Amino acid sequence: MKTPHPGGGGHARPFTKFRMPTAENLIPIRLDIELDGQRLKDAFTWDTDDSQSEIMPFARLLVKDLNLPAGFTQQVVQSMQSQVAEFHLLQGQEMSTEEKVQVLKLDLRVNNLLIHDQFLWDVSNFDSDPEGFARTFCKDLDIEDPEVAPAIALAIREQLYEIAKQNITTGRETRISKKFRRERGLDYTQASVPGTTALNLMRRPNSKISILRRRNEWDFFEPSVELLTEKEIEVLDARDERNARFKKRVEEKDDTFANRYVRV
């Protein structure tokens, strides 16, 4: 579902208004809130077409389900509104839709499962379905935990979101470059080989294109699912807690530094 812009001698331009490069325009939301010695950490997707007024009821229900103090509600609302507002701000810009395949990676721990994988994804396919991919992934690997598929889909969406943001810059730089050449009488259009950009990852030394991987690449694209013991889970939980505290100290230090040098 690409939406090329008209112009340029009748040729479609590979740009469209910013959106998630997936069939459903769902964005990833992450919450990591600490209040009065308690912590709320959660992640989910949010439909950007939903009204802002729906955030408050959702936040109330989330806080209630997690048995957290009511004070968390406003913190959840503010965090969600900030992330949704960032997306809406980006919607006013154009992103490149040039065909491109990139490697996406999974490095997840969901309950007692540790999941690693990497695979190729057409980031210019606006009909892609991370949720469908995640369900198939779990079915193929006999993963029965119902929390795994949503976590995989979210991880994919987070990576696609970051790639889409980068494509805003790519599109802007491409247009500036073409304008520069036109102004200097250097503009020319070179016929491109269809799919070349998308398949650069598959290019062989003899310049031939192949969708087949070399044998020595197989292990890099082999999914790994590990069942963790209680002891291993405790170790990973402790590590995650240390990393979270370190990240918070760094952010607080940065905020203090920034406030100290604010000029009114």
pLDDT tens-place string over residues 200-220: 444 444 444 444 555 556 566
pLDDT at 252: 72
CA torsion 249→253→254→257, rounded to 10°?
170
- Write out pLDDT tens, residues 114-132: 999 999 999 999 999 999 9
- Walk along the chain (264 residues) in steps of 10 and give the mean pLDDT of each run: 43 78 96 93 94 95 96 97 95 88 94 94 95 97 96 97 85 50 44 36 44 57 90 88 79 67 52
Q: Is 72 helix (H, G, I), strand (E, B) or coil?
A: helix
Contact 101, 163 (CB under 8 A): no
pLDDT at 250: 82
Q: Where do the domains of the chain lie?
A: 15-183, 230-260
Cα 4 from Cα 94, distance rounded (Å): 10
pTM above 0.75, yes or no: no
